[in-house]
Structure 1
Amino acid sequence: MVLLCSLGWAGFLVLHLALNGRWWPWLVVSLLPPVALAAVPLVLLAAALAGGAWGAAALAAGCLLVAWPQNGINARALLRRPRAEAPGREGPRLVSWNTQHWNQGGDPERFYAFLRGLDADVYVLQEYLNGFEGGEVWDIDDEERLRAAFPGHHRAIGNNAVTLSRFPLAGPPVPVGACSLRADLRTPGGVLSTYNVHIPVQLTVMNPLRPAFFRDMRRRAGARDAEYAALVADLRDNPHPVLVTGDFNTSAAIGDIRRMPGTLRDAIGACRSLLPASWNARARLRLWRIDWTFTGGGARVGGYRFRDARGLSDHLVQELTLVHPEKGID
């Protein structure tokens, strides 16, 4: 029985590795909690070892190792004291957060008090919009309140994103695709390009037996492809150090995250959580990290954690501190 289960899991894993990120219908399958890619083979391995089924044990161990990069486990957190990714001097403190429709239907005073309490040098905020059933979104204009709440911050607004910065903008904000925003900031260490990212969600909750479900999912897969392509193209042409952060709607188990350039560094190495997760913030058990931060071009992350959103969103807040190399960044 253990051998049969191990063979079944190995067959699933072969399909997952072959189709994930390459065939749009597999997006539904890849929504599984990433930790399942470690939990299932570990259970099979334990059962095989207990029963002396050495062939099944070898197969389960192989499945565990092959899928390890996609299980969402941050093994570096097992170090006694996670270190900054590189030595240097401390840079800006940033927060990145999907606000879930910008306080739609909530108390604006509580919402803005929470934002001010984060006390960041740079705020990278997604979903500057209102959303409705059926996927309809409405643009909003809350700039007057933003100006009053953050008088010492410069503003970059566009593509339903807001970047607030204590550092001046080096130029006008640049829309990236249809859902992300680039803002170049003049920090003490030099120009830093921040990418405020929001990749479209994979599917709409509806009856999966209806043809409309698959039409909608295929359309969304195309939109995701376009957003990733635009983001990667802009990054490759950007000469500045970069910080890429936001809601990718992509877990470690979804192949789309592999599209990010290999020159970028995942900030999770500076996090102390063994199983970091950012969604669903309102649930007791959180199994998905779909909010990511990457750095490149000389910028590094010194500290990184997920912070409670106090019920204001279904996403936790990403909180991080940049570290500039000793020579600064150009």
Structure 2
Amino acid sequence: MTAMVLYCALAWAVFLALHLALNGRWWPWLAVSLLPPVALALVPLALLAAAAVTGGGLAAVLAAGCLLVAWPQNGVNLRGLGRRAEAPGGLRLVSWNTQHWNQGGDPDRFYAFLRSLAADVLVLQEYLNGFEGGEVWDIDDEERIRAAFPGHHLAVANNAVTLSRFPPAGPPVPVGACSLRVDLRIGDGVLSTYNVHIPVQLTVMNPLRPAFLRDMRRRAAARDREYAALVADLRDNPHPVLVTGDFNTSAAIGDIRRMPGTLRDAIGACRSLCPASWNARSRLRLWRIDWAFTGGGARVGSYRFRDAEGLSDHLVQELTVTVPRTDVREKN
């Protein structure tokens, strides 16, 4: 039994070494990296328990090493155990993938839900219609949006909608083919909001068909382009930033490492131990693929995921954000 536990620990160590080496660097590994992030914690913990029962010292060392090395990718938020007080004030922002903008649903219920979020800024993805095959149709619902949110400033591009009580500091900037930057004038400073939607990794089809690999490679290239465009725009941006949306990237997927190290993940302000944003229509929420980052002096006071009331397969990201009173870097 001790030898069996050791063999299992060795097998997991080899898999983890491949995962760390290839994840985010070799496109076929995208399929493998779809494993539940929490598995990177549960598997070595199970091996540690088995090693303790069987007295396998080497297996325990291997399991502990695997647990520590992969900890940043397991999606566990130990900071959620702390009873940190929420920072007062700040603007209220909502980020949400609407899943095809109420396609086939009740528009009155959809817009009533959006208004109930009572946000200063709404960052909404998938302003489009489509179906499982991947084809999408552009839509035009701007008249209804303006009627539902009088007094708000509206920006629409790249199938994204940003609604704000604050005036824009300039025209909206499409980033890549799937994201939208909107600079907002807040007090005497500017906050750049990035409405992000990274393409999904694969289409559900028979993985033995050549079309499956061709489609995944095409999608991997599209993801590369979107991340590259986003990072390039962030590096040239002198303002405080809030970057949020549907990244279609879990903690176990190496692509998230492409985000600049100067940004701070909002998860530190979340009280959930295992935060998950998808699948909102399932009782078992799988993992977080919707993210929020701040940088340039912007800070998150509170961060949580809210139920979407069956309107989307994504939960709603709700957060409060404070920005510097003066954008010093803009003036220098």
Regarding TM over 0.5, the answer is yes
Superposed displacement of residue 292, structure 1: 0.1
Q: Partner amino acid for 1:169?
A: P
Query: Are the structure 2 counterparts of residues 82 and 11 from structure 1 closer, same or farther at C-alpha, using a change threshold of 3 Å?
Result: farther
Matched with 1:225 is: 224
Matched with 1:156 is: 155
Q: 2:17 aligns with which of 14, 31, 34?
A: 14
Superposed displacement of residue 188, structure 1: 2.1
**Inter-partner Cα distance in structure 1 for 2:83 and 2:89:** 21
Matched with 2:76 is: 73
Asked if 2 retains the 8 angstrom alpha-carbon contact of 1:90 and 1:324, the reply is no
Q: Secondary structure at the match of 2:180?
A: strand
Matched with 2:26 is: 23
Q: Secondary structure at the match of 1:134?
A: coil
**Inter-partner Cα distance in structure 2 for 1:133 and 1:114:** 25
Matched with 1:56 is: 59
Asked if 1 retains the 8 angstrom alpha-carbon contact of 2:173 and 2:181, the reply is yes
Matched with 1:237 is: 236
Contiguous gaps of at least 5 residues in structure 1:
none
Asked if 1 retains the 8 angstrom alpha-carbon contact of 2:170 and 2:183, the reply is yes
Matched with 2:257 is: 258
Asked if 1 retains the 8 angstrom alpha-carbon contact of 2:191 and 2:323, the reply is no
TM-score (normalised: structure 2): 0.96
**Inter-partner Cα distance in structure 1 for 2:54 and 2:277:** 38
Map 1:1-330; keep pairs closer than 5 Å. Answer: 1-81=4-84, 84=87, 90-188=89-187, 190-325=189-324, 327-330=325-328
Contiguous gaps of at least 5 residues in structure 2:
none
Identity of aligned residues (%): 84
Q: Secondary structure at the match of 1:135?
A: coil
Asked if 1 retains the 8 angstrom alpha-carbon contact of 2:242 and 2:295, the reply is yes
Q: Deviations over 1:78-100 (max 9, x none)?
A: 2132555xxxx722100000000
**Inter-partner Cα distance in structure 2 for 1:202 and 1:274:** 26
TM-score (normalised: structure 1): 0.97
**Inter-partner Cα distance in structure 2 for 1:42 and 1:130:** 43
**Inter-partner Cα distance in structure 1 for 2:304 and 2:238:** 28
**Inter-partner Cα distance in structure 2 for 1:73 and 1:188:** 36
Q: Deviations over 1:277-298 (max 9, x none)?
A: 0000011111210000000000
Q: Would you identify which runs of 4 or more consecutive aligned residues in structure 1 move more than 3 Å?
A: 327-330
Q: Partner amino acid for 2:8?
A: C
Aligned length: 325
